[in-house]
Amino acid sequence: MNILDNIVADKRNEVDLRKSLIPVSQLEQSVLFERKTTSLAHKLRNSTSGIIAEHKRRSPSKSTINQNLNVQDVARGYEEAGVCGMSVLTDLKYFGGALDDLLLARASCNLPLLRKEFIIDEYQILEAKAYGADVILLIAAILTRAEIKQFSEFAKSLQLDVLLEVHNEEELHKSIMPSLDMLGVNNRNLKTFDVSLDISKTLSEIIPNEFVKVSESGISNIEAIKELQPFGFQGFLIGENFMKTDNPGESAKQFINELNH
């Protein structure tokens, strides 16, 4: 069992429990369910920086990153910094996140919000919509082609953007379909936690251009972005780099200023 298998096993139990507590009809009655979503893919295509900044308290590879900040301040700081979107981790057990973080971020900013979660059930996509997300993440490593199709089409029916994350060529080939907006390449090997930008570079050549290319993990400096832009990447997911500081918004602002000059 690798970490991903453990997370998915726990997630199935968690989702079953949530389903038993909160019926679908209740999610659909949420005041945010009717909200018009904002496309992250569209913003990334028209941006010079392409930064998706993350709210992340801890992770299995880094344990604690930052437990002291409140989500509202982080969301407002990121918006002020001029990021394209905000990724909000909602997994509690491994990342210290919560669905309420999504709600608080939504109340604090107008950025497109990505629900960063291990999605294994349509119910979680309804939750994302009900809690104010604009985008969902699907992880190819934990889903079959049929599930990717089912979940992405369901998300599109709710006007949500879909970011699909891959780690290798095999995952990429099984995943490409019209119901995706963005293809994310995770530079971290989820079995070993090693990080290499070469994964993004290699896969960039086989990602069709109709998808926005997003590079995730291991992007901690301007050089990494400048290195990846020639490979067609328009989105860059940055979590720990901003979150490990006392003021993630200010860090993001400095980073984007530097990048654009």
- What are the percentages of helix, strand and coil residues in the chain, rounded to 5? 50, 20, 35
C-alpha distances (whole Å) from 183 to each of 111, 177, 257 are 20, 10, 26
What is the structure's pLDDT at 3? 84
Asked about 191 being catalytic, the answer comes back as no
**Rounded Cα distance, 41 and 47, in Å:** 10
Asked about 217 being catalytic, the answer comes back as yes
Bridge partners, residue 185, by sequence:
166, 215
Selecting among 216, 241, 251, 253, the annotated active-site residue is 216
Domain housing 238? 3-260
C-alpha distances (whole Å) from 258 to each of 94, 219, 222, 255 are 33, 15, 7, 5
What's the number of domains the chain is made of? 1
Asked about 216 being catalytic, the answer comes back as yes
Asked about 28 being catalytic, the answer comes back as no
Asked about 165 being catalytic, the answer comes back as yes
Selecting among 11, 39, 43, 56, the annotated active-site residue is 56
Task: Answer yes or no: are the C-beta atoms of 143 and 117 closer than 8 Å.
Answer: no
**Rounded Cα distance, 221 and 77, in Å:** 19
What is the structure's pLDDT at 113? 98
Regions of the chain where pLDDT drops below 50? none
Selecting among 79, 117, 127, 165, the annotated active-site residue is 165
Asked about 205 being catalytic, the answer comes back as no
Q: What is the CATH number of the domain that holds 111?
A: 3.20.20.70
What is the structure's pLDDT at 63? 72
Closest listed residue to residue 138, CA positions, set 127, 59, 124: 124
Asked about 54 being catalytic, the answer comes back as yes
Structure tokens at 119: 């999605």
pLDDT tens per residue across span 147-205: 999 999 999 999 999 999 999 999 999 999 999 999 999 998 766 778 899 999 999 99
**Rounded Cα distance, 33 and 45, in Å:** 26
**Rounded Cα distance, 84 and 191, in Å:** 30
What is the structure's pLDDT at 1? 61
- Residue 156 makes CB contacts below 8 A (sequence gap 6+) with 162, 179
Selecting among 11, 43, 116, 129, the annotated active-site residue is 116
What is the structure's pLDDT at 121? 98
